[in-house]
Each structure stands twice: as structure tokens, then as C-alpha cells.
Amino acid sequence: MDIFTLYAGQGDLAAIRSGKEAVIIDAHMPTCEGVTAVQIEKGLDHYLERSNVRGLVITGLDKDHACPAGVDSILTRFEPDWVMYPTYYKATEAATEVFAIIDRHVKRRLMSSRPLLRKSVRVDRCDHRYFTDLADEFAFELFSPHMEDMDSSNNSSIVLKVTGLDSTGFSYLVTGDTESGRWETINRIFGHDLKSDVMSAPHHGARTGVNAETLLLVEPNTVLISAGVDNSYGHPYSCAVTAYQAIAEHVFSTHAELGSCLFTRRSGTDFETTLVRHFEPELSVV
């Protein structure tokens, strides 16, 4: 198993491979911020050229996670079996357009041999939190969202543990834009079930996404931060990076250099992350 965190400016887009399968997490493809959608698509195409893309997980419906052009590109280019998104009641500038795009692709593939399946998820509405039927090489465990705490689009984010079932498999905690107040509830309900080898930093390394108890429960070896170079939000915050460094062996961020992506894989008992540029994916991700 390995993870490719693409440089998507001030947004999120990552892909995970396990065996011959892959899953894409989020779909931010900015039109500026020093990177083009064509560069992002090229890096994604190269990384996934030998993989069967089983699904697309949209952690939230804000544009930095669900850019309409990015959702359309991924559903068109890779034709995943399913698309997962939070059962959603928050208005965002992207939600209406994204759902219209999903509707169009569902209709386009309705009579095909591989119809596009919708997976609308919310912990308090699911019969179970474990999804074992979505892929052969991955297992999925859902921790959020929950109606009790869906007080903002950020706290409506999907929190999902993705575990690779191949010989090099490990666990990766996907966190979206989940903020500290929601983490308190997740901690109380799920506790040490959150433990994962690798963790995406919530909300691009914002201080509002850091929860000390969560970090102790997850106990990640590696934290991966997706943030744009010189972004106007100041992400990642230095206090957030310090908190991650206090717990994790390794902390990496895409904001270190324009166009830098992060390629993460297990190396023996540890994990290694390599910086890769969009136009040089062949260096590490084949």
C-alpha cells in the first residue's frame, strides 16, 4: 500500500493504492495557485495507470475538497465503481453543482455493466461502520459525520480509516476539515479504534483541527499535510505542526515547495515519504 498526496494548492486530493486497486480521496483541482488541472491530472494518471480505481471519497462539499471540475474529471477519467460523500444538509458554494455532476454520471452509466453507485454516509444512519464490500484490497471504517455535531460544513466531513489488505498494507486516517469540537465526540465514542499508522492533518494543518487527545489516540507514525504555498490562511499553523511533531515520527506538508506532492509507503517497520513534483511522478510512484 502507498499514498500519493498531490499538490492541489489550498485543497485536498490524494490517491491510495493497495495491490492492483486504488481509491481517490477528494477532488480539488485549482485553476490558479501555481498549478494547473492538467498537471494534477498528469500526476494522477501516472500514479493510477496500473490500478483499478474502485472509488472516490469526497470528505466534504466545500470547494477545497469537492471542486466540481475535479469531481467531473475523476468520474470521467477513472470511472470508479462508487462515490462516497457525507449525508449532507449544509449549503456550500459547491454542493449543488457537485451533486448535479454525480447525478449526470449515475445516469450516464445506469445501463452499463458498471453502474456508478452512491454511498451517502453518516455514522448515526449506517447499519454498520465497516465497509468490506467496496473493494477487495481495502477495508474502510467510518467515524464521522454524525448528526449531533454537524454544526458546520467542516464538522460534516467524513472521517474514515482506510486499511490496505495487500502484503505492505497499513492504516490511513482520512480526516477532511474536522475541527476540535467534533474530535472530542469522536474521541469519546471511538477511543483507541482511531489508532492509525498514517494520518492526514485535519483542515490543512489549521490550529482548529488539532485535538491533543485525538493525536494520542491515533498515535500516527506519519502526518501528511495538504496546504498551498503562501496560502492566505497561513496553513499549516506552526502550533499545529509542533503538536504533530510531538506525537508522530514524521510530518510532511505539500506547502514546502510549489508543486510538491508526497509519496508515502511502508519501508520495513517504518514509513518513508518522498517529495515528488507533478511533472516528475516517474521518480517515485511507479
Residue-wise pLDDT tens for the chain (286 aa)?
999 999 999 999 999 999 999 999 999 998 766 788 888 999 999 999 999 999 999 999 999 999 999 999 999 999 999 999 999 877 888 999 999 999 999 999 999 999 999 999 999 987 789 998 999 999 999 999 999 999 999 999 999 999 999 999 999 999 999 999 999 999 999 999 999 999 999 999 999 999 999 999 999 999 999 999 988 889 999 999 999 999 999 999 999 888 889 999 998 889 999 998 876 655 555 5
Nearest alpha-carbon partner for 47 in 17, 67, 68: 17
Q: What are phi and psi of 69, to 5 degrees?
A: -65, -35
If you count them, how many residues does the chain have?
286
- Name the E strands within 82-215: 82-86, 117-121, 130-131, 138-144, 159-164, 171-174, 198-200
CATH topology of domain 2-283: Metallo-beta-lactamase; Chain A (3.60.15)
Residues near 133 by beta carbon (within 8 Å), at least 6 away in sequence:
none
* Nearest by Cα to 8 from 243, 235, 197: 235
Question: Is residue 162 a contact partner of residue 16, using CB atoms and an 8 Å limit?
Answer: yes
Q: What is the pTM of this model?
A: 0.96
- Helices 95-108 and 68-77, packing angle to 10 deg: 20
The number of C-alpha atoms within 13 Å of 168 and in the hemisphere containing its C-beta is 16
Instruction: For residue 276, give the H/E element and its range.
Output: strand 270-277
